């Protein structure tokens, strides 16, 4: 049947599929009627399979790979997807699957079926320009069908090369003749084809005769991505879409059950990426910092910028003398903490987003939820998007698997989508093409994985003549202050007995290692170094970190008598380059003088920039020390790496051009460190349980890039052990069981290990302040709109800990009306609004003839603000106050400001606010504030946008706010102030749901509104002494005024959801009458109801 590509196809047209045909947009093929489910089975209620594999027909079970585009992993926690949850319950369970970077549709779908990163398969983004092809790739351009864009080998080609059949329904790339091949059966993308039809067709393919039936089927559905973009991941239209997609998975499983294939087909259910909300307030405009006309810019969540080509007069123009990437980064770096700017070779290695000419030379990497654009190029909306860092929680993708090839009811670690290709090839019994995945990495989730080759350990000791007299320019002038032994005696103790070598090796290299060529091992009692004869320096040092290091002089070095053709100390030093030598194994880690001096040798030296050594490298060891205190001993692997060509592999020494002047010593491009601890309880040296690993690959720079905080920089450059292996040529954990080793090597931590977390501290038993704190400071923190029952949702562990350890009330009652400014000012004055004058967020004063609103400049007029805020009280009594964004604190009330204050600026990040509070606390006594305020505008904003009952949306923001309170408490802990500072956490009011069906509209009663002004919302006031005019508020003379009694008579009892009061008869508990700014008539609304004149524009 041939139909136009735009026509929707039903399942009523029957066409059989010859084994040699492909399905194009001109040959839309339907399925046999036998695909219907005659028994009306419901797989959802079938029991999970037991631990034993099911009995299935001979041969390779079919494999179905199903992608639900943009299915954020967190969606399965929303109780809208019972079938997907049941698949997860009965099959493979994982916290998430990590997409590749950028977390976009085409790169990730192609990675799933090739096992390659975008830099390897060429689809580096949804939008690309290739200077060699002189063409642009995008999802909407016909150029996407050019096979030259698509590198690597997709699984359907692997199948065809090995005589097996495959079929694909709209999978990105399936309609491109890659390597001269298509899948045996394929349907190009056609958005008009229904999802239901797609499921029916796939089931029909399984009904084909054996010789025609595909063994591998890939199918793609564009939801919930489309709705997520339109509505955000928390939009009201998303739940029915999630339910629909779950129903389609159920339809597929029911179809398999009807064929008695539900236990004999392997189903891999995935998504390409997650989804995150965007906001018009979270955008950076490049125009502020550069002339954008000089560059071509790929905008959005994961941006790129180049000066090598421009787009002019509707064509791409190549630039003869492009601006160097260093210059571009210099223009943009540190302009905004939410925008990270990298030369692509300096980007975190875990991203694997550099080694392709299609990746432009400068990457614009945004913090979560933030976007980067040129002025006028972005139509701002509050919707949904993806593309951010693949380690962000919201970008995490769906993965679960079910079938005879998978273990039943099995929990696994998070995985990367590049690992799926090898796994699927094994399930289909084909040999995979070369790829970026780690072969066998997912064997542990499979019932019958292919055996892996036995790995051999290389432990070649550095052999050679021991030189009794080593001639170098190294020296140790203060040796006599460190030991009574002579240099020759120290050298002799480097000669270990065979038993000592075995003991040291088993302690410092317990997991086994394979090393690069030309490498051997120098074994000391306290550490083992892997030494490379070509580089003439160590490539790896391994040791146990189990004590606080002592100080050891860096200028005390002697030659290693074991190292042939060793280096001089001066070989590592260049004042002009600001580079010096550093000990790879820090001598201070050793517990004895002999151990420390065993490390003060040239075979333990590497070249290191001074700024790197005293900056991030020192900080990394400070963090390591905190981990030691927290977790006992840590096994450490540390070393240099050279990757100037940014291919993620070790450079040939002959091609390295970054050298120490005069000596020619190769300067590392990176340094790495892996920390290994016992996951539960034991010392790492006696660990009988699982190991936990945390690794870093740090660019070797004089300073931290992007002005990042050191701990954030470590999180940014976290890495897998496998990334270090690729970068260095080492292979680690070869003595460990293959299953355990591959899990450790491919694991990427989503978050750093906890270090001195306040949440894990015991509750305070007594106040304890460090020296210099004669009076415990008070910090008043407000979380705007934090409803009291949010605390019961268990999303806020830090606030929960504060409540359990301190004083906690079920709730605090706000003043009336429950608005932001009135309540904030009441908290710091102890006055009701009728007394302090801020009677609402919006008001009019007839005597002043001025209008107040929270966003107007008039809000800083001190005439509005009565009473005495506590910062004034403190200054009057010779104490010091500091405020960060507290309403009223940027107003000169009674001629005074707080000693330190920040005018409100919503663009200032929460982290910056916390840092400022901690900086104020670091001031010396006499300058340090006694009282500090800290204000967060969340969760109020999220509550207004999503409603307090939208628990998935509120969970994100509550966890975020709690995390920042945790950072504040950790900052106090690290200053030993956690048992000294009095911290008070409050909210100004709660939050209730609203909807457009619960609005009392005054015009519905034909009420005359000409000579009154109505203040609308969840609480209303009617003013009869002024009205609104085009020039502002206009006072009314007595003859124009509507009497208060008439307004009351006209409106009383009109709606059961609205109580109408003369303000003097309002319940006394409200304390809301004794101020001329309070209008005479009060409209007191029921919970969740609103009042408006003609409508209420805030209704959502």
Give catalytic residues, as residue numbers: 105
Helix (H) or strand (E) holding 225: helix 225-231
User: From the CB of residue 555, how many other CB atoms can be counted at a distance below 10 Å?
Assistant: 13
Look at the alpha carbons of 590, 592, 594, 597 in this order and tell me if their dihedral is positive or negative: positive
Q: Are 666 and 571 in contact (CB under 8 A)?
A: no
Query: Residue 980 and residue 508: Cα distance in Å, rounded?
Result: 42
Question: Could you give the 3-state DSSP secondary structure of residue 428?
Answer: coil
Torsions phi, psi of 582, nearest 5? -135, 150
Helix (H) or strand (E) holding 93: strand 92-93
User: What does each C-alpha distance from 113 to 173, 245, 685, 809 come to in angstroms?
Assistant: 10, 22, 40, 55
Q: Looking at the DSSP assignment, which residues form a beta bridge with residue 1033?
A: 1028
Alpha helices in 774-892 (DSSP H): 797-805, 820-829, 833-836, 870-876
DSSP H helix total and E strand total for the chain: 25, 48
From 1086, 1080, 1043, 1046, select the one nearest 1065 (Cα to Cα): 1080
Three-state secondary structure along 702-743?
CCCHHHCCHHHHHHHCEECHHHHHHHHCCEECCCCCHHHHHH
Query: Residue 228 and residue 232: Cα distance in Å, rounded?
Result: 5
Q: Are 245 and 68 in contact (CB under 8 A)?
A: yes
From 349, 389, 391, 276, select the one nearest 750 (Cα to Cα): 391
Query: Residue 780 and residue 986: Cα distance in Å, rounded?
Result: 8
From 727, 743, 697, 719, select the one nearest 391 (Cα to Cα): 719
Between β-strands 1026-1029 and 1019-1023, what pairing exists: parallel, antiparallel or unpaired? unpaired
What b/e readout covers 52-89, taking b as 16+ CB neighbours within 10 angstroms?
ebeebeeeebbbbbbbbbbbbbbbbebebbbbbbbbbe
Alpha helices in 454-530 (DSSP H): 487-492, 498-508
Q: How far is CA 221 from the centre of its chain?
A: 25
Which tokens hold the place of 726?
């690729």
Query: Residue 216 and residue 165: Cα distance in Å, rounded?
Result: 7
């Amino acid at each position: 049947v041939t139909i136009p590509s735009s026509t929707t196809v039903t399942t009523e047209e029957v066409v059989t599929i010859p084994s040699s045909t492909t399905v194009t947009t001109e040959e839309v093929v339907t399925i046999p009627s036998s695909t219907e489910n005659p028994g009306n089975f419901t797989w959802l209620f079938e029991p999970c399979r037991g631990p034993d594999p099911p009995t299935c027909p001979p041969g390779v079970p079919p494999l179905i790979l199903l992608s639900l585009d943009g299915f954020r992993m967190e969606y399965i926690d929303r109780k809208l997807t019972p079938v997907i949850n049941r698949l997860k319950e009965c099959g493979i369970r994982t916290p998430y699957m990590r997409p590749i970077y950028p977390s976009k549709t085409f790169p990730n779908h192609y990675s799933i079926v090739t096992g390659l990163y975008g830099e390897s398969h060429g689809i580096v983004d949804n939008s690309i320009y290739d200077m060699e092809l002189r063409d642009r790739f995008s999802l909407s351009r016909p150029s996407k069908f050019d096979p030259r864009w698509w590198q690597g080998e997709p699984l359907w080609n692997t199948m065809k090369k090995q005589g097996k059949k495959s079929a694909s329904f709209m999978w990105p790339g399936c309609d491109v003749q890659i390597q001269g091949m298509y899948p045996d059966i394929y349907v190009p993308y056609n958005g008009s084809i229904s999802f239901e039809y797609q499921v029916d067709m796939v089931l029909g393919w399984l009904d084909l005769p054996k010789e025609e039936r595909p063994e591998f089927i890939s199918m793609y559905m564009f939801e919930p991505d489309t709705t997520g973009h339109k509505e955000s991941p928390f939009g009201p239209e998303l739940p029915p879409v999630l339910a629909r997609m779950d129903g389609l998975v159920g339809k597929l499983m029911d179809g398999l059950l009807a064929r008695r294939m539900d236990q004999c087909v392997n189903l891999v259910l995935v998504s390409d990426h997650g989804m995150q909300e965007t906001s018009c307030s979270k955008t950076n405009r490049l125009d502020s910092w550069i002339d954008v006309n000089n560059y071509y810019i790929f905008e959005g969540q994961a941006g790129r910028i180049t000066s090598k080509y421009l787009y002019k007069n509707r064509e791409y123009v190549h630039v003869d003398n492009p601006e160097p990437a260093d210059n571009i980064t210099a223009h943009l770096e540190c302009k905004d903490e939410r925008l990270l700017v990298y030369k692509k070779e300096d980007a975190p290695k875990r991203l694997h987003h550099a080694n392709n000419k299609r990746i432009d030379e400068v990457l614009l990497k945004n913090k979560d939820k933030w976007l980067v654009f040129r002025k006028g190029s972005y139509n701002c909306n509050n919707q949904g998007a993806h593309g951010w860092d693949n380690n962000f929680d919201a970008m995490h993708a769906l993965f679960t698997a079910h079938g005879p090839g998978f273990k039943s009811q099995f929990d696994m670690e998070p995985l990367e989508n590049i690992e799926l290709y090898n796994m699927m090839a094994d399930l289909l019994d084909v040999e995979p093409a070369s790829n970026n995945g780690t072969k066998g990495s997912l064997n542990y989730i499979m019932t019958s994985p292919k055996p892996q080759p036995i790995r051999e350990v290389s432990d070649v000791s550095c052999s050679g003549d021991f030189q009794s007299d080593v001639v170098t320019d190294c020296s140790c002038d203060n040796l006599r202050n460190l030991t009574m032994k002579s240099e020759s005696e120290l050298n002799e103790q480097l000669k270990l007995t065979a038993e000592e070598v075995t003991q040291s090796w088993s302690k410092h290299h317990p997991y086994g290692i394979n090393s690069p060529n030309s490498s051997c091992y120098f074994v000391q009692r306290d550490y083992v170094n892997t030494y490379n004869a070509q580089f003439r320096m160590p490539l790896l040092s391994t040791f146990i970190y189990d004590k606080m290091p002592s100080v050891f002089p860096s200028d005390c070095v002697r030659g290693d008598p074991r190292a042939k053709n060793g280096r001089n100390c001066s070989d590592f030093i260049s004042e002009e380059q600001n580079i010096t030598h550093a000990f790879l194994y820090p001598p201070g880690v050793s517990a004895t003088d002999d151990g420390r001096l065993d490390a003060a040798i040239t075979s333990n030296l590497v070249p290191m920039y001074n700024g790197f050594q005293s900056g991030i490298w020192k900080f990394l060891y400070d963090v390591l020390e905190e981990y030691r205190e927290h977790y006992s001993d840590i096994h450490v692997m540390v070393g240099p790496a050279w990757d100037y060509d940014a291919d993620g592999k070790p450079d040939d020494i002959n091609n390295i051009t970054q050298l120490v002047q005069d000596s020619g010593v190769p300067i590392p491009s990176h340094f790495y460190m892996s920390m290994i601890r016992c996951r539960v309880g034991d010392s790492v040296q006696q660990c009988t349980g699982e190991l936990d690993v945390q690794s870093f690959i740090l660019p070797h720079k004089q300073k931290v890039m992007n002005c990042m905080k050191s701990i954030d920089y470590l999180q940014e450059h976290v890495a897998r052990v496998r990334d270090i292996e690729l970068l260095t040529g080492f292979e680690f954990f070869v003595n460990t069981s293959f299953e355990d080793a591959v899990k450790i090597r491919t694991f990427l931590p989503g978050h750093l290990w906890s270090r001195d977390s306040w949440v894990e501290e015991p509750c305070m038993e007594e106040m304890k302040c460090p020296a210099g704190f004669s009076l415990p400071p008070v910090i008043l923190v407000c979380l705007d709109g934090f409803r009291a029952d949010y605390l019961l949702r268990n999303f806020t562990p830090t606030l929960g800990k504060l409540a359990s350890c301190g004083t906690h009330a079920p709730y605090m009652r706000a003043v009336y009306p429950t608005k932001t400014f009135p309540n904030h000012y009441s908290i710091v004055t102890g006055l009701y609004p009728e007394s302090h004058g801020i009677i609402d967020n919006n008001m009019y004063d007839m005597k002043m003839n001025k209008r107040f609103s929270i966003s107007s400049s008039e809000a800083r007029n001190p005439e509005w603000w009565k009473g005495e805020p506590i910062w004034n009280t403190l200054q009057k009594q010779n104490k010091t106050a500091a405020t960060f964004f507290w309403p009223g604190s940027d107003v000169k009330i009674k001629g005074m400001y707080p000693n330190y204050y920040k005018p409100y600026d919503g663009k200032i990040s929460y982290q910056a606010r916390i840092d400022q509070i901690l900086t104020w606390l670091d001031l010396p006594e006499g300058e340090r504030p006694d009282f500090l305020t800290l204000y967060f505008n969340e969760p109020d904003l999220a509550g207004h946008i999503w409603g307090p009952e939208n628990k998935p949306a509120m969970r994100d923001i509550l966890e975020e706010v709690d995390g920042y309170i945790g950072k504040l408490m950790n900052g106090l802990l690290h200053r030993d102030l956690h048992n000294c500072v009095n911290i008070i956490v409050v909210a100004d009011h709660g939050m209730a749901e609203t909807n457009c069906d619960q609005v009392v509209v005054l015009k519905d009663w034909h009420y005359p509104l000409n000579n009154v002004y109505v203040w609308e919302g969840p609480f209303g006031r009617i003013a009869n002494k002024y009205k609104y005019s085009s020039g502002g508020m206009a006072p009314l003379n007595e003859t124009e005024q509507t009497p208060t009694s008439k307004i009351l008579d006209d409106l009383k009892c009109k709606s059961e959801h609205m109580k109408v009061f003369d303000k003097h008869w309002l319940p006394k508990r409200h304390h809301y009458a004794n101020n001329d700014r309070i209008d005479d008539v009060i409209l007191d609304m029921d919970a969740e109801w609103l009042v408006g004149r003609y409508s209420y524009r805030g209704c959502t």
